Amino acid sequence: LDAAGSACARRALAEEFRGHVWEAAQCPHANYALQKAIMVLPQEDLLFIVDELPPQRATQAASQKCGCRVVQRLLERCPPGMMRLAIDGILADFASVARSPYGNYVAQHLTEYAPEEQRRRAMRAICADMKGLATDPFGSAVILGALTRGPAAEQELLAQALVREPGLIAFMATARHGSGCARRCLQLLRGQDLACARQQLRSELACLQASRFGRFVAQAL
């Protein structure tokens, strides 16, 4: 695909995946070639790849070591609407995907690359499961991704939902991804919500200062 001299040559090579997309998405070697095809093909030529990853398979692939990469590339490259059914399938199992060592990357991609309405649905799913995701090492990475790359209008709402869970922001502040969430909340929040966040964090200042990740939050207060 890199050496192909023309768009026709790249298209002909990519056609070799037709009928084998699911197998390639799970293969530790072929998935790289499939990702490359997704990156170099014109958007309209990606439809056969999407068609071979219907909602159930797309959801399975989202939580697989190799498959998650393919789903991420499709989210980045497909035009609005082409991935709608696949995204609906992933959103229906969002809680599980977001807690997966590999699926959490797909969940973060949904908040950034999905069509606007589905991006908002992903943000709402995070809000609805805030406490559960915040206490999960992979779920907290999803929250951080949403706070930094989700729809701008939804980021503050997500930060408000986090700070309104008593003690949650202080709990998260000493963890790897949670520290980033706490600092991002301090940037996003205003007025009473910001004051509440600072109060909760200052009440645990000694713990923050004793923590490798908490120190960064303490410095931001």
Name the H helices within the chain: 7-14, 21-26, 30-40, 47-51, 55-62, 67-77, 84-92, 94-98, 103-113, 116-128, 130-134, 137-149, 152-163, 168-172, 176-188, 191-202, 205-209, 214-220
Specify the pTM.
0.93
Q: Count CA atoms closer than 13 A to 5's CA, side-chain side.
A: 0
Map 135-176 to HEC letters. CCHHHHHHHHHHHHHCCHHHHHHHHHHHHCCCCHHHHHCCCH
Taking only the tens of pLDDT, the chain with its 221 residues reads: 776 778 888 888 888 899 999 999 999 999 999 999 999 999 999 999 999 999 999 999 999 999 999 999 999 999 989 999 999 999 999 999 999 999 999 999 999 999 999 999 999 999 999 999 999 999 999 999 999 999 999 999 999 999 999 999 999 999 999 999 999 999 999 999 999 999 999 999 999 999 999 999 999 99
Q: Residue 219: which of 189, 193, 194, 182 has the closest Cα?
A: 182
What Rg value do the Cα atoms of the chain yield, rounded?
Answer: 20
- Per-residue pLDDT tens over the stretch 116-129: 999 999 999 999 99
- Round to whole Å and give the CA distance between 17 and 23: 9
